[in-house]
Structure 1
Amino acid sequence: MATESVSLRERQRRQVRAEIQRAAFELFARNGFDAVTTEQIAAAAQISPSTYFRHVRSKEDLLLDPVREGGAGIAALLEERPVGEAADVALAQAILTRSAALAPAELAHWRAAFRSAPHLLDRVALVPPEHRARLIELVAQRMPGDPAGDSRSGLLVHLMLAAAEFGYLQWLRSADNTAASLPVCIEAALAAVLDRRWRAQG
């Protein structure tokens, strides 16, 4: 019973958060990020300002969290990749799978909102430090040699994430709605750094 109760509360929390984001994105896209107040977002989401602040730390987080949330799932996806798959391929596929998780309409809505806050583009970071450490650990397990004394796993993770973040930024900056999709932008960026020299030798 307790587990079901917690699960219900979590679903409700996520629903409220999703409604806040939806309302905020519409307002940002229409009026501009700086012109929108937290009170306006709360009103559009049909909640009180106090409820808004229980779910949101800042307006900036409303735009940046979709990137962070996407990045948080990469480690779990990497763990699910086939055991014998090369480290670089497994990591690239985990990143690509995560980038394709959101529906195109949701992504377009988010990008339109993000365009109203170009100053936040420099803060786009796909994976926070604690998740990067886990990715390095998982990648090291797929590479030969001693993980403790081999820096290649860390370098590979940082290069691949930097490429993915570049793909995100390329997509966010695109002013043409007919331009390449987010997964296509990320795949192209990853392909630019994907090199067989990273792959574990049998």
Structure 2
Amino acid sequence: MRDEVSEVAFRLFSEQGFDKTTVEQIAAHAGLSRTTFFRYFGTKEELVLGKMNEFGPRLAAALAARPAEERSWEALRRSFDVITESTADEPQPFLNLMRLLNDACALMTRQWEKTQGWHSLLVPEITRRLGGDPESSGDLRAHALVGSAISCLDAATDAWTATGGATPLSELLDQAMGVLVEPVT
């Protein structure tokens, strides 16, 4: 049911824009009451950003699964394959999501908050890889690496969206992350 409601909502968003589409319209087009809509989604924003929530734990699991001897920067890059691979086969849904995020300021802010939340999931593993205590959140090196990697992902995603996915997201991410050199092992 969540997928069906999301499909209806994204169609309405593309026709009317995010801000002009109401919960009532989404519910009516999906054959639901407003109350039922809120059983599935806490807010209209959650309907859009729900997939972003899923990426954080998946990124952390992918990072933890990387070979122990792999450098931290490369491990971060490879963990982002969780995102780049999901856009490779069917880029249009992710392109639509990114365009929607760019068009609605409130969504962009919430999406930024979610990606910033990835820090707390990724920093412990990078701290461990750098020889520190993963229970301690004070390793500046780990914070800098994770923050830089997420910024590279944001830059690559922006470029990918601007070109309509003409260049694969994975290539753009390689370019963005290739600009920076990992200062620590």
Q: Which bracket does the TM-score occupy, shorter chain normalised? A: 0.7 to 0.9
Q: Are 1:124 and 2:137 matched, yes or no? A: no
Aligned residues: 180
**SS state of the match for residue 166, structure 2?**
coil
Distance 1:132 1:145 in 2: 16
* Stretches of structure 1 lacking an aligned partner (at least 5 in a row): 1-15
Judging changes above 3 Å, is the alpha-carbon distance between structure 1 residues 53 and 160 closer, same or farther for their aligned structure 2 residues? same
> What residue is the counterpart of 2:83 in the other structure?
98
Where do residues 155-170 of structure 1 align in structure 2 (5 Å cutoff)?
155-170=144-159
Where do residues 11-160 of structure 1 align in structure 2 (5 Å cutoff)?
16-102=1-87, 103-114=90-101, 116-118=103-105, 120-125=107-112, 126-129=114-117, 131-144=118-131, 148=136, 150-160=139-149
**SS state of the match for residue 115, structure 2?**
coil
* Structure possessing the higher radius of gyration over alpha carbons: 1
Judging changes above 3 Å, is the alpha-carbon distance between structure 1 residues 83 and 104 closer, same or farther for their aligned structure 2 residues? same
Shift of 1:30: 0.9
8 Å contact 2:157–2:169 — kept in the other structure?
A: yes
8 Å contact 2:95–2:165 — kept in the other structure?
A: no
CA deviations 1:123-175 (Å, max 9, x no partner) are 4325353x422311111121246665742112111111122123333434x1x
* Stretches of structure 2 lacking an aligned partner (at least 5 in a row): none
Judging changes above 3 Å, is the alpha-carbon distance between structure 1 residues 167 and 145 closer, same or farther for their aligned structure 2 residues? same
8 Å contact 1:20–1:45 — kept in the other structure?
A: yes
Q: Percent identity?
A: 29
Distance 1:68 1:168 in 2: 17
Distance 2:46 2:71 in 1: 35
CA deviations 1:60-93 (Å, max 9, x no partner) are 2233333332233110111111121111101111
Distance 1:35 1:28 in 2: 8
Q: Aligned-pair RMSD on alpha carbons?
A: 2.6
